[in-house]
Amino acid sequence: MKLKKFNIFGWSVPVLCMVIDENLHGFFDSAKKEIVMHKNADEKFHTMMHEFGHAVWFRTGMNQTGIPISMQEIIVENFASAFVENFNEICYNKKTLEKK
């Protein structure tokens, strides 16, 4: 499965799908700057957006603010859920707003 890299404020972040620890759906590797998802996980799109949130979090230095990991998890999960639930509407609105 070939997925496109994200550009997160100048970081080129590949998205990889492979067999990983079965207890994980995915993770963001801040050292390698890559998103890794379990190839057999359910809801891969949701997982990708959750890990995208972690990537933005690290890229913007939010990991240096002292906000606990548990709070980071809640924030990125809420954004991932809202994004996934409204993805079609976001795409439609983007297309509509960009019409001339």
- Name the one range near Zn ion by CB under 5 A: 8-16, 32-40, 68-76, 80-88: 68-76
Smallest gap from Cβ 50 to Zn ion, in A, equals: 5
Backbone angles phi, psi at 35, to 5 degrees: -95, 130
Q: Which is nearer to Zn ion, 73 or 85 (CB)?
A: 73
Smallest gap from Cβ 1 to Zn ion, in A, equals: 21
Measured CA to CA in angstroms, residue 48 lies from 35, 37, 56, 61, 66 at distances of: 7, 7, 12, 20, 24
Smallest gap from Cβ 28 to Zn ion, in A, equals: 8
Beta strand 11-13 with 34-38: parallel, antiparallel or unpaired? unpaired
Kindly list the residues in this chain that would bind Zn ion in the complex (CB under 5 A): 73
